[in-house]
Each structure stands twice: as C-alpha cells, then as structure tokens.
C-alpha cells in the first residue's frame, strides 16, 4: 500500500513496517524492486522509529545505500549493516582564492593534478607520508590528535577553522575498547592515514556557480561565482574496514545465540545496551575519528600541491567536513535517539541547536557530489527536513553496478562525457579511462534529478552548483 504525501514524499506500507521515500516521479519509477525487499528486511529489526530512502537509494550489502534508520537509545538497536563498511566515509570542501581563469586550458589543469599527486598518495597500496603522526592519538582524538604542524590554525586565537568548521572534530568514546584491535590492523591503518583510497573516492577541483535564491548564504560562507573549490571524498580506510568484517561475525554469533534473524544473512543487529552493541558503537566512533583526520590530512597534502602550483601564499580554508556512513547519538523530538545514516547526509536548517557554532545562524553546508563528469552541489537544510530526521542524499547514487557498467558503457562514451580532447576537458589523473570505467558518469543516476527530488521534498535547498574541472581518483 502506498500513501502519497505530496512534495516528493511517499510512504509505503510494507509487511513489517512503513518506509518513507523522498523522490520525484522519475526517480521513484527507476527504483529497483529489490530495494523495497531490503527495506522490509530492515524493518524486521524491532522497535524501529523511522526508516527512509533518499532519492539516491540503491542496493547495498544488507541495507540499501541511501537509508536513514532510527531507534531510541533506551531500548533500540544498532546495526553495522545500516552503517556500512566504510565507516565515517564523507565529504570535505575547501575554498581557494583561485578563479576559473586560473585553470583555463587542459595543460594548466594537468599541471595542478600532477602537483597534488606528489603530496597525496592515490594508489590503493600507497603508504602514508606522515611518519610523525601517532595513530593512537588520531583514533582517540580525531583532528585534535594531530601534531601542531598539521593543524596550525587550531593553536592560534584568531582562527580555528580546522576544528570548528567540521561536523565533529573529535568523537568521544570509551577508549579501553582499543585494546581489542589486532596489531596488524594498527600497522595497516597507520600506513594509510592521509591516503585517498580507491572506488568512488576522489579529490576534485570545481568551479562555483551561486544559486540566486541563496546568494546571501553563499556569500556568508565565503563562496563567489567562478571561485575554485576543492571537494574531497574519502573514509576510514583499513581501520573502519576491519570492523565491517570482524564485528559483523560477532553480531551473527550473538543473533544465533538469541534465536533472532532476518531473511538476509548480511543484515545484522544487536541491542544498543548489549555487549556487542556497546563494543561496536565505541569502536565505530574511533573509525569516525580516523575518517575525519584522514580527510584533513588529504587536504593538507592538496594544499602543499596547490602551493607548488600557485605559490606559497596559496590558502585553502575548510568550508565544512561531514560524513554519510555512521550511527550518531542525536536528540530528536526531545528524545535521545541513534540515527543510522548509510549513504545519507545530515542537513541541519538555520537555527538548529546541533549546527556547528559558525553555522548556527545559516545552517551548515551539505556537500553532495555528482560524478566526475557532472556537477556537485552545496546545499543547506530546511526546517521541513525534520520529517526525515534532517537526512538528505549523499550523492547521485549508482544507477548500475560496477560489473554492469563495465559491460554496458564503452570507453568512447566515457571519453565523450569527460569532453576529452576539447578545451573543456575534465582532466583526470589516470593514464587510461578504462582503469576507472566503473566510476564513469554513466554508472550514476542523474544528479540533477536527485537534487530536484530533495528540493521538492523541502528537505534542503541548493546554495551553489560546482562543475568539475580536474579530478584525482585513487586506484
């Protein structure tokens, strides 16, 4: 049974509960039937307070990417499957003083990419350049655990953007649980700090186009038309990946002991107050600390490359850093709740008490990437977003799997979408496009339709549209 609430908001009555879907007619019609079966599986977890899909929803492991799921802290559940394997994966955006004319010409953009690659390892097997950073401090303290040389603005009274212009700079938790982490994980994760990783992770130089409707907000944030910004997408690398494999096994054993389950063996859960739930939540927060520090260090490397390209006076202040794979303790409807976001982005409206202090008045930037051949967006939450616990999309969302993309999309089609050989070419750091064919724009949904769905639902509004000029992908 389907109830249409209007404004791109549908509520489906499934066998085990209700699913809210925020999508326009075109996007809703494209949703695979499997996503609804996966939602019904998720709804078999007891005492769910809310479950929804944003318009970028697509099939994932155990749970669809694009899911928001909420339980009360008092008697609720936590699910690693509804957090995702790349815990703390998220977005970061930096401002620069460059203008679009400074990156005119393919060769100029290529020189910028090559300069950045000197300072940011992009190979999947690359090791960190930062031997002076203690991983223990990072997973305990997040950005606050980095040495002063990497966070100089945190140690001066005039500016603290590195710590204030982020969703959270440090997640507090019971660090005694770190004693359970195997030595090999410590070694591998330490070697990955400040590295990009593969898959859909990227560094992208983009040109800003301000939305007239939100020009006052854009200007308050320091954005202007034609400005060059840097968008970064990465997560917790091996540190978070370790938990996806290790603790899902723990949850499965516990569920067998309790005699509970779902039709999908990849969907696991436990009570928040169980030993398994308590351990997972605490160690998940350590992965969030790694993820935010990792993006910070990637940005540090990008800045070194930018200085080599544009001169030592180049600056790159952070606009915002936020995540889209986590379970956060939040207060909604005057009650403490555990909000799972798997491939969804928190978008708080102006005046909301959970906003970072610099964005209390305007609402914070919500960063929504497209694909390397299409625009990305900077949005701001609307008050009506409370109907979805202030969650919006996290990107365009995959239209087809990696395997299907390789089978259906040609390198020539990919090349045309990147405008290869023209003055408008979107420069990529790979020698051949074939190596990243599964990340081509054709693999993703139409991001403009995704954004239309979010705006039409009243969840958030566009502040700026950002067109890609140069992309650095990990392999």
165 is catalytic: no
To the question of whether residue 395 is assigned a binding role by annotation, the answer is: yes
Nearest to 159 by CA among 315, 366, 367: 315
Domain assignment of residue 432, yes or no? no
Mean pLDDT value of segment 307-311 = 96
| 202 carries a ligand binding annotation | yes
Nearest one of 351, 344, 349, 325 to 391, comparing CA atoms: 344
What pLDDT is attached to residue 154? 62
Residue 441: its pLDDT value, please? 86
Residue with token string 């499957």? 81
Please give the average per-residue pLDDT across 424-442, as a whole number. 89
Work out how many domains the chain is built from and give that number. Answer: 1
Q: Could you tell me if residue 433 is inside a domain?
A: no
The dihedral through the CA atoms of 211, 215, 217, 223 has a sign that is positive
Residue 352 known to bind ligand: no
- Domain with 258 in it: 2-399+444-473
Lowest mean pLDDT among 74-78, 89-93, 186-190, 208-212: 186-190
pTM of the predicted model, to two decimals? 0.96
Task: Please indicate, yes or no, if residue 380 is contained in any of the structural domains.
Answer: yes
Nearest in space to 38 (alpha carbons), one of 66, 10, 3, 73: 66
Whether the pLDDT of residue 375 is over 80: the answer is yes
The backbone torsions φ and ψ at residue 228, rounded to the nearest 5 degrees and listed phi first, read -95, 130
430, 30 contact by CB (below 8 A): no
Any domain includes 304:
yes
- Residue 409 in any domain: the answer is no
Task: Describe the crossing of helices 275-310 and 237-258 by its angle, rounded to 10 degrees.
Answer: 160
Tell me the C-alpha distance between 117 and 64, whole Å: 33
396 among the known binding-site residues? Answer: yes
- With respect to residue 435, please indicate whether it lies within any of the assigned structural domains: no
| Residue 430 belongs to a domain | no
Residue 434 maps to a domain: no
Mean local confidence (pLDDT), 11-33: 97
204 is in an annotated binding site: yes
DSSP code, position 240: H
What digits encode the pLDDT tens for the residues 117-167?
999 988 766 667 888 999 999 999 999 999 999 998 766 555 679 999 999
355 in a labelled binding site: no
- Over the stretch 451-466, which tens digit does the pLDDT of each residue have? 999 999 999 999 999 9
CATH code for the domain in which residue 88 is found: 3.90.1860.10
200 labelled ligand-binding: yes
Mean pLDDT of 346-358: 97
């Amino acid at each position: 049974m389907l109830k249409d609430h209007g404004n791109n908001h549908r509520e489906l009555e499934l066998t085990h509960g209700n699913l809210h879907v925020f999508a326009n007619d075109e996007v809703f019609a494209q949703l695979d039937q499997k996503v609804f079966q996966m939602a019904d599986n998720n709804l078999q977890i007891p005492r769910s307070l809310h479950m929804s899909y944003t318009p970028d929803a697509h099939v994932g492991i155990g749970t669809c990417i694009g899911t928001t799921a909420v339980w009360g802290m008092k008697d609720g559940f936590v699910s690693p499957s509804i957090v995702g394997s790349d815990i703390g994966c998220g977005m970061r955006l930096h401002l620069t003083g460059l203008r679009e004319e400074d990156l005119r010409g393919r060769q100029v953009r290529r020189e910028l990419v090559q300069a950045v690659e000197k300072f940011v390892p992009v190979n999947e097997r690359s090791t960190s350049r930062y031997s002076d950073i203690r991983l223990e401090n990072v997973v305990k303290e997040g950005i606050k655990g980095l040495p002063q040389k990497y966070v100089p603005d945190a140690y001066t009274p005039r500016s603290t953007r590195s710590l204030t212009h982020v969703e959270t700079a440090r997640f507090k938790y019971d660090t005694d649980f770190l004693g359970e982490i195997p030595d090999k994980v410590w070694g591998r994760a330490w070697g990955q700090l400040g590295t990009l990783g593969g898959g859909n992770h990227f560094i992208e130089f983009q040109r800003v186009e301000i939305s007239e409707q939100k020009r006052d907000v854009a200007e308050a944030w320091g954005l202007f038309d034609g400005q060059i910004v840097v968008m970064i997408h990465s997560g917790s690398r091996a540190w978070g990946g370790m938990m996806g494999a290790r603790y899902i096994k723990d949850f499965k054993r516990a569920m067998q002991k309790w005699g509970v389950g779902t039709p999908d063996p990849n969907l696991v859960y436990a009570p928040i107050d169980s030993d398994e739930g308590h351990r997972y939540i605490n160690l998940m927060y350590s992965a969030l600390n790694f993820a935010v520090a990792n993006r910070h260090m990637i940005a540090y490397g990008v800045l070194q490359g930018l200085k080599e390209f544009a001169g030592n006076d180049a600056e790159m202040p952070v606009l915002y850093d936020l995540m889209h794979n986590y379970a956060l303790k939040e207060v909604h409807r005057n009650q403490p709740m555990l909000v799972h976001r798997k491939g969804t982005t928190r978008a708080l409206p102006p005046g909301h008490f959970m906003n970072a202090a610099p964005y209390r008045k305007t609402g914070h930037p919500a960063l929504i990437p497209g694909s390397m051949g299409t625009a990305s967006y900077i949005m701001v939450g609307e008050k009506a977003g409370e109907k979805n616990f202030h969650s919006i999309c996290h990107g365009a969302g995959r239209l087809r799997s990696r395997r299907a993309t390789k089978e259906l999309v040609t390198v020539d089609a990919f090349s045309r979408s990147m405008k290869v050989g023209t003055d408008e070419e979107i420069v990529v750091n790979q020698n051949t496009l074939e190596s990243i064919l599964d990340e081509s724009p054709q693999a993703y949904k139409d991001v403009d339709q995704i954004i239309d769905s979010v705006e039409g639902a009243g969840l958030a509004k566009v502040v700026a549209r950002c067109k890609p000029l140069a992309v650095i992908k990990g392999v």
